[in-house]
A and B are shown apart, each in its own frame.
Chain A
Amino acid sequence: MTPESRLDDVGRLLRDLAPQVLGAIARRHGDFAEAEDAVQEALIAAAQRWPAEGVPRNPRGWLYHVALRRLTDHLRSELARRRREDAVAAEVWADWAFIPPPDAEIPADRDDTLVLLFMCCHPALTPPSAIALTLRAVGGLTTAEIAAAFLVPEATMAQRISRAKQSIRASGVPFAMPTPAERAERLRSVLHVLYLMFNEGYTASSGPHLHRPDLSGEAIRLARMLHELVPDEPEVAGLLALMLLTDARRAARTGPHGELIPLDEQDRTLWDRALIEEGTALLEAALARGAVGPYQVQAAIAALHDEAPSTDETDWPQILALYDLLRRMSDNPMVELNRAIAAAMVHGPAKGLELLDALAADKRIAGHYRIDAVRAHLLERAGDRERALAHYRAAAAGTRNIPERNHLIAKAARLAARERELEDAEP
């Protein structure tokens, strides 16, 4: 085994064990924030020692033991500080003084990981905080790794996570399952955070960033974990399917220099067939349950793209019907925009442009560069090169993503060059 692969194996093992150990400690200790700090310290200690010394016989017990030791150390200094103030201190300490040996079996509860997810994706947190906290507490990533993923300094990320934990503490959420009345809404919030984490993996910045953890991959891993915990939730399966069916196209989505390749220009032989099959099977099983939600519909759209040999041979009428269904489930202008593209593929560019005009009046999306990008594309298909050019340029100025900007500028440049050729050709 090479040192690198041993390091990878240790990393994987730690990430799998992290939520189990944290769950057990948070349940025993009650204070999620302190337990989370202690487990993070134990993970860092393991990451330093295991690759060289070998993985202990009972790795979970080892982590539990070390984390509990750290926690009691903190508690001991805290208790020493207020020894005289607090009469119950001694009593509390008696309970905490016992630390099981590293090879002891630790109490494991499958629900712990689920409780952790509900906690870290609590609606009281902003999405960036929830994503960061989930990656650390449930995903088992170190603060340094999460900082690298978001291209911020480690100290900044440490503060962001610590503030997220303060918000959780302030909101008074106990370390327990949400009540049945709250459960559906809290689960939606977990799915939303995982969905955003997956999308964050698409974010490409200008500079070359080595060793940036793969956030899409982490989101898929966590969605798989969640699906195993609640296999009967069709929207969980739907989200996992959507991620797999989208990620299947990853290799085809960017060129050798990081340039963006849109769906209609992708080399479809590069698409990952195994992921497509897995995603499709998951989706079919979920749809069979009959509780269709937005993630399942989006996955169904992704599946239709994945099955098609080319853009022209794509089942656009079916995709349009799915967008019609999706817009009835959620009032989202981005859905309307994608529906306009599907309508243009079914009924021609004029129909798409007509829908865009109606959409441009929607304040939530008016002026968004994506409208310009779609309009440019439809105008180009309709043969109106001059207006298409103007809208490609407007879209290029509006995007916040460099590969996408470059793609739009290149489109405009090619159109402008063709226009010049045609002008030169005229007598």
Chain B
Amino acid sequence: MKFMLMMHAPRGTGDYQINSWSPEDFQAHIAFMNQLNKELTESGELVGCQGLTPPGEAKIVRAGENGMPAVTDGPFPESKEFLVGYWIVDVDSAERAYEIAARASAAPGPGGVPLNMPIEVRQVMAGRPEIE
């Protein structure tokens, strides 16, 4: 059986909650996460895991007119009432991700009417460090 485990930060600041911690607390947190991932890898249970860019960068995309993406900064529903599936796409730009989200948003519902589902778009952390 596969499960998706979602890590949430407190709402409001739009930032990572770890930002204001003491150096010791922060290092302990990172060490814990590394250890957890290592254990899950060694036990053969890890399928994949990703960190996301800060919550403040989250966007909500719906299909707008003519299927064009309508991108807004919210409102964000509670995940409990909301999350039913996900895609991870590897694209050349955020705009392309919004386009795909708009297509998904317009999936047909009863009577073929587009559902206009809100799709939350978050960028996966995967870049090159610029600091040498």
Q: What residues make up the interface of A, taking CB atoms closer than 8 Å to B?
A: 126, 128, 150-152, 156, 199-200, 202-208, 210, 257-260, 262-263, 370, 373, 393, 396-397, 399-407, 409-410, 412-414, 416-417
- Chain A residue, CB-CB nearest to B31: A257
Roughly how many angstroms separate A406 CA and B2 CA in the complex, as a whole number?
29
In the complex, B6 has a CB within 8 A of chain A: no
Instruction: Identify which of B20, B31, B37, B90 contacts A150 (C-beta below 8 A).
Output: B90
In contact, A370 and B26 (Cβ under 8 angstroms): no
Q: Does B123 contact A (CB under 8 A)?
A: yes
CA distance A412 to B21 in the complex (A): 9
When C-beta atoms are compared, the residue in chain B nearest to A406 turns out to be: B30
Given A150-B90, A207-B46, A410-B27, decide whether A416 and B20 contact each other with a Cβ distance below 8 A: yes
Within 8 A of A (CB), among B4-47: 15-16, 18-23, 26-27, 30-31, 34, 37-38, 41, 46
A301 to B19, CA, bound (A): 34
By CB atoms of chain B within 10 A, which of A126, A205, A258, A407 has the most? A205
Assess the A206–B19 pair: CB atoms within 8 A.
Answer: no
B131: min CB distance to chain A, Å: 5
- Interchain residue pairs with CB less than 8 A apart (17): A151-B126, A156-B90, A207-B49, A210-B41, A257-B34, A260-B129, A396-B16, A397-B19, A399-B129, A400-B53, A401-B125, A401-B129, A404-B129, A406-B26, A409-B18, A412-B19, A417-B22
User: What's the minimum C-beta distance from B26 to chain A, rounded to whole angstroms?
Assistant: 5
B94 CB → nearest A CB, Å: 12
Residues of B within 8 Å of A199, CB to CB, are 128
**Extra A-B contacts (18), CB below 8 Å, given A206-B50, A401-B127, A413-B22:** A126-B92, A128-B92, A202-B128, A208-B38, A259-B30, A262-B131, A370-B131, A373-B130, A396-B16, A397-B16, A397-B56, A400-B127, A401-B128, A401-B130, A402-B51, A407-B131, A417-B22, A417-B23
Interface of chain A, helix or strand or loop or mixed?
helix
> Does A400 contact B46, Cβ atoms closer than 8 Å?
no
Q: How far is the CA of A186 from the CA of B131 in the complex (A)?
A: 30
How far apart sit A271 and B31, CA to CA, in the bound complex (Å)? 25
Evaluate contact between A207 and B48: CB separation under 8 angstroms.
yes
Q: Considering the chains assembled together, what is the distance between the CA atoms of A153 and B129 in angstroms?
A: 24
- List B contacts of A393 (CB < 8 A): 15, 19
The residue in chain A whose Cβ has the minimal distance to the Cβ of B25 is: A413
Min CB–CB distance B110 → chain A (angstroms) = 32
Interface check B54, CB cutoff 8 A: yes
Q: Provide the bound-state CA to CA distance between A263 and B130, in Å.
A: 12
- The verdict on A263 contacting B132 (CB below 8 Å), with A128-B92, A208-B37, A413-B21 known, is yes
Contact of B130 among A151, A258, A370 (CB under 8 A): A370
Residue contact A206 to B125, C-beta cutoff 8 Å: yes
Alpha-carbon separation in the docked complex, A404 to B128 (Å): 9
CB-CB < 8 A to B26: which residues of A?
Answer: 406, 409-410, 413
